[in-house]
Structure 1
């Protein structure tokens, strides 16, 4: 392995000379002697065999080669600073990564807002979001494969849950569909004769596909976007989050169906910490930001 000809300290000194406009100013900013900075840059140029700076009057100017190398050096010194910060965070117990299970009916804009609020103080923590459905969310919680879970419906047995919001699912179809002819005069028997689009349960142990399941014919898809694509062709009906289809309903691209005894299905969403005893500071911070998105600040 070839040893590096230069050091990070030399590059940091070069950056300071350029950023502060000269050796004297950089020396004052770094609390070093001007001669030591002159020596460091001169040695760096000699080691590389490339002229990096020229002096005109009392100010230092980058050469063309120096500008290219300086720009690349900033990535390196920044990466080292981030690496050192990550090591310090790990020493203090700050998690390098977080995984969130998100029941797909949970409003994504709320989660994005919380993650954006987390970003300025994330200390390099990486975030992964797993979209899950029904028992798939429960399995992630029970196996403690996630740090936080946004769970629809009742929480798994033995887990405390903080209620966040409710999501209303409404039955919809394309305006050209037969069901749209009398959308306010429907019952479960009339629905059962038509194709239903349902969302696949992501659990591995059971299968409880999302939606009213009395239809004789069903097509199962992975998410709401696939369901909407099928509905757009005029096939079937589906229970979808009202917020997700509000624009299509307003534009007349979808028709809402009103079923006697069940005009909509209201699903509670809870925030669950699968293992609070092992919860780290990054997870706690993000938890509070998610709660804040729902106007909740008292939960601990």
Structure 2
């Protein structure tokens, strides 16, 4: 591997000369002598064997070759600066990555809103989001496999949870399904005789599936997108979060059903920090932004 002919500092000086419009202005910005800047750029051009600048009057102008090389140099110096910033962040304990567990029923737009606010302050922290269901969410918290977890229902024993919101479920089927033409509300026995679509528990030791589970005929799928595809074919019924099916119900692509004694279901969602003692500053910032998104910090809560 050949040794580099130029240095990071030389390119930084060249950028300053161009951006400031001359050597004198750049010298003032960089707190260096004008002669040292002249020497650095002249040496850079000699080392490369390419003319980068030409001086006309009191201003320095890029040559065509200089424009190409300067443009590329900005990417390189930016990358070096980001690398140095990352090293500084790691030294201070700022996490280079965060792993978030999201109960699948949690509205994704809420999390994206918080992440959009986090990104400009995130110092390059990489984000990974895992979708989980029922015991899968609990297992990720108990094993401390994630930095933050949005869970449904009660938190695992020994963990505190901050309530975020409630998600309503509606019982739906396709308009062509026999249930759609039956008199409402339906009774348990009628529903138990039909095919039910449920969402698979993501836990290693599955404790159940997502949905009312009295139907003997049951198809289990990985997520609500797959469940909606099945329903669109006129097959089965399913409990689906209301925010996922508002448009489909309005447009007549799905029919909402009611069950005696249960017009809808509601699941509370909460934010859990699996290990508060090990929580870093990036995780703390994102936690605050998620809570802010739900007005929890102001004590207003959200229903």
Partner of 1:218: 218
Q: Tell me the equivalent position of 1:199.
A: 199
1:165 aligns with 165
Alignment partners' CA distance in 2, 1:53 and 1:8: 18
Change (3 A) 1:266 1:35: same
1:248 maps to 2:248: yes
Could you tell me how far 1:207 is from its partner in structure 2?
4.1
Q: CA deviation at 1:182?
A: 2.5
Aligned partners of 1:170 and 1:239 also within 8 Å:
yes
- The aligned residue for residue 84 of structure 2 is 84
Give CA deviations for 1:223-265 in whole Å, capped at 9, x if unaligned.
Answer: 1111111111111111110011011111111110101111111
Partner of 1:119: 119
**1:71 — aligned with what?**
71
Give the SS at the match of 2:127: strand
**Cα distance change, pair 183–143 in 1 and its aligned pair in 2 (3 A):** farther
CA distance in 1, matches of 2:154, 2:199: 18
Give the structure 1 partner of residue 20 of structure 2. 20
Mapped contact 1:183–1:257 kept (Cα < 8 A): no
Give the Cα–Cα distance (whole angstroms) in 2 for the partners of residues 260 and 149 of structure 1: 34
- Match in the other structure for 2:188: 188
Q: Give 1:6-155 correspondences, 5 Å limit.
A: 6-155=6-155
TM superposition shift of 1:183: 6.0
| Stretches of structure 1 lacking an aligned partner (at least 5 in a row) | none
Distance 2:183 2:77 in 1: 64
CA distance in 2, matches of 1:183, 1:6: 81
Q: Quick check: 1:183–1:255 contact (8 Å CA) kept in 2?
A: no
Deviation at 1:145, TM superposition (A): 0.6
Q: Distance in 1 between matches of 2:209 and 2:49?
A: 67
Query: Partner of 2:265 in structure 1?
Result: 265
Q: Cα distance, 1:8 vs. partner? A: 0.3
CA distance, structure 1, for counterparts of residue 182 and residue 72 of structure 2:
66
Tell me the residue number matched to 1:293: 293
**CA-CA distance at 1:184 after TM superposition:** 2.1
Equivalent residue pairs, number:
299
Q: 1:119 to 1:192 in 2, by over 3 A?
A: same
Q: Secondary structure at the match of 2:203?
A: coil
Structure 1 residue 185 displacement after superposition: 2.9
TM-score, normalised on structure 1? 0.97
In 2: Cα distance, 1:153 partner to 1:70 partner: 56
Q: TM-score, normalised by structure 2?
A: 0.96
Q: Is the 8 A contact 1:183 1:258 kept in 2?
A: no
CA distance in 1, matches of 2:272, 2:77: 39
1:127-166 per-residue CA deviation (whole Å, 9 max, x = no partner) reads 1111111111111101101011000011111111111111
Q: 2:167 aligned with 1:156, yes or no?
A: no
